[in-house]
Amino acid sequence: MKLVFVSDKRLSEDTRLIKRLYRAESSDYTTGNFVFALQYLWFHEDKWLELVRIDNYEHEKGRAGVHIHKFGTPFVEFKEMNFTEAEQLILAVGEKIKQKILLGDYDGKN
């Protein structure tokens, strides 16, 4: 794989969005010629927490496709979307999880 793009952007004093895009040979573990990962990080209680990650890396016994990892749960949700759509979604989901944690209302499912 060859790195095409990387960005580590501060969204606020305590929030970051990291984006990585790679060009890959089409294979069984990718969905097309590009592999990407986006991470929504939040600095809470003296450490960076990954609240959300969206990527199209291989997952679950060789299953490929775009999927969403959420803080506090080992499960992922597969969802069709492109890189731009993933960026929009990760911002919304990350902010929602952050607010729910602050309110004491996050259980990893909602």
12-52 per-position pLDDT tens digit? 999 999 999 988 876 545 556 888 999 999 999 999 999 99
Domain ranges in the chain are: 2-102
Average pLDDT, the chain: 89
Tell me, letter by letter, the H, E, C secondary structure of 15-43. EEEEEEEEECCCCCCCCCCEEEEEEEEEE
Element (H, E) at 83: helix 83-102
pLDDT value at 5 more than 90: yes
> Contact 36/16 with Cβ under 8 angstroms?
no
pLDDT classification of 106: cutoffs 50, 70, 90: confident
Per-residue pLDDT, 28:
47
69-82 per-position pLDDT tens digit? 999 998 899 999 99
Alpha carbon separation from 63 to 30, 34, 66, 76 (Å, rounded): 9, 16, 10, 12
pLDDT value at 61 more than 90: no
